[in-house]
Amino acid sequence: MDPDLPLDEDELDELDAFLRSDAVGEDAMDVSMLDGFLTALAVGPSNLPPALWLPAIWGEKVSWPSDKLAERMRALVLRHAKGILLQLREEPDEFDPLLWEREVDGHEVSEIGEWCSGFVQGMALDADNWQPLLDSDEADDFLYPILLHGTEEGAKQLESDPTLEDDFEEHSAMLGECAAALMEHWLPQRKRASTLRREAPKAACTDYFSALPTTSARSLARSGQARMRSSAARAWPWRTASNLRQRSKQRASREATCGFIACSSMMTSAAS
């Protein structure tokens, strides 16, 4: 395993299988949510240490069958995080998120809620530093589809305005552009911060999160009704067309929950 190479298809499958296994906590991420989460960490205003964000991936009640497996999964996640970061820095126009996809009336439909909610969870780990952008007039330019599909307030908007469903594919296509724009926006601050001696960032308070039970892409994937794909035709080099495969393994009684950040007018206060 070369730590300098991005994950290949088999390794993405391996990580996906673990995240869908009984070893992880009920609040663990799926692979699409993980991709969004790591993207937020890659493009955000701060360089956060893995010790801060790795536990959020597996959930609170993860049970590692062996130290070897724990080391393996952490290594895969860190390589995936590095691959996303390098892609966005070196070839931002080629970046595409990993999204669930399902067939509706004979058409392939992207499910972007998991990716967006994962991105929002990544924002929540550094909420204070994201806040100035959220409060600015530029917030919609950078974050509109992410906040719409990844927050509780956005879910209410989607429910109250069914016409927004017509824009799902457009929103899906915008995600890569949003990530690239955010990378460019925050990179100067990250570079300045890297030259300063700082204390390790504090872990985010759980009050930033609330649970919103949904019929999510993750639960659809568990039932064999969804599959993974890159969001546009220009796939990452190591994400081949065979990523459009059926995900049929289902884990019984697993509920899909999303994390939401409550730090702007578009976000509601988290449930206690």
Residue 251 is predicted with a pLDDT of: 26
pLDDT of residue 272: 36
pLDDT, tens digit, 9 for 90 and up, residues 122-160: 999 999 999 999 999 999 899 999 999 999 999 899 889
CB atoms within 10 A of CB 165: 9
Which regions in the chain score pLDDT beneath 50? 197-272
Report pLDDT digits (tens) over 165-181: 778 888 988 999 999 99
Farthest-apart Cα atoms in the chain, separation? 56
Tokens for 254, please give them. Answer: 């697993």
pLDDT at 257: 28
Question: Do residues 135 and 264 make contact, with C-beta atoms less than 8 angstroms apart?
Answer: yes
